[in-house]
Homo-oligomer: A and B are copies of this chain.
């Protein structure tokens, strides 16, 4: 950061508009949905329930980054078609991950907001390509990236032409093994100090523990985060992946109730 002047370091906080919704300071964007898209029926059922709670954004994974080549890799394009169909049916805004440069052109037609996963934060060729699309980009922090490297990764996208970047803190790798990753709550005030980009938090991947999601979600909003990205399913124990960190719809309602008490903290 020392000598470099980042394009997103100054000026008033960025407000991103999409399908009538706003993302940025004071808008508390809530994004929920399953880890992986399994079929159209379940995805629609979840989206409908989310909409009833007043949620405008739903997520689902079509292309998965799996540590082992022998694990389920996602439905691929079929999953994207379900995303688009559910977005059309509900009027909601869809979020899904792009894992390779060669998919960008295709995915941008199916999904509203493109997500860069933690393992791709430093995939600069992918970032460059995402600088050429119009979709907002959720840029997850690399699980061992510094705040400086994360801000510079955002700069790769912005410098290439797309200023609609949303940063997402999702936990960093430390020596502690009780949680899957360690949610770096300090990243929230740091980003608000150093950048005008919106900063949201993913409590699901950071903890890997369902019973912590409420606590971490409220902590994030109280710390000043602009939104949350939470893995949610009507039947978490039956999901194909990430069951242990996926919450049910009841807990999501609880979190939203609590959030209401927190929204005017920073006014």
B-binding residues in A (CB < 8 A): 4, 65-70, 99-102, 119-120, 122-126, 143-144, 146-149, 152-153, 155-156, 159-160, 172-179, 182-186, 188-190, 193, 206-207, 211-212, 215-216, 218-224, 258, 261-262, 264-265
- List residues of chain B with CB within 8 A of the CB of A173: 144, 175
Cα A177 to Cα B186 in complex, Å, equals: 12
| CB–CB A101/B102 < 8 A | yes
User: How many monomers of this chain does the complex have?
Assistant: 4
Cα A149 to Cα B215 in complex, Å, equals: 22
A160 to chain B, nearest CB (A): 8
| CB–CB A220/B219 < 8 A | yes
A123 to chain B, nearest CB (A): 6
Other A-B pairs, 17, CB within 8 Å; known A4-B70, A185-B185, A189-B212: A69-B155, A69-B159, A100-B101, A100-B125, A100-B126, A101-B101, A101-B102, A102-B125, A123-B123, A144-B175, A148-B178, A186-B216, A189-B211, A215-B223, A216-B223, A219-B222, A261-B262
A126 to chain B, nearest CB (A): 8
Cα A87 to Cα B142 in complex, Å, equals: 36
A245 to chain B, nearest CB (A): 12
* 20 sample A-B contacts, Cβ–Cβ < 8 Å, listed by A number: A4-B68, A65-B124, A68-B152, A69-B156, A69-B159, A69-B160, A102-B102, A144-B144, A144-B173, A146-B176, A147-B178, A176-B184, A179-B186, A182-B182, A182-B184, A185-B185, A189-B215, A219-B220, A222-B222, A261-B264
Q: Which residue of B lies closest to A215 (CB)?
A: B189
| CB–CB A189/B216 < 8 A | yes
| CB–CB B146/A175 < 8 A | yes
Cα A65 to Cα B149 in complex, Å, equals: 12
Interface centre among A69, A206, A212 (most CB of B within 10 A): A69
A34 to chain B, nearest CB (A): 21
| CB–CB A125/B149 < 8 A | no
| CB–CB B70/A99 < 8 A | no
Cα A208 to Cα B182 in complex, Å, equals: 18
- List residues of chain B with CB within 8 A of the CB of A67: 122, 149, 152-153
**Known pairs A174-B175, A176-B146, A222-B221; A122 contacts B189 (CB<8 A):** no
| CB–CB A190/B212 < 8 A | yes
Cα A212 to Cα B193 in complex, Å, equals: 9
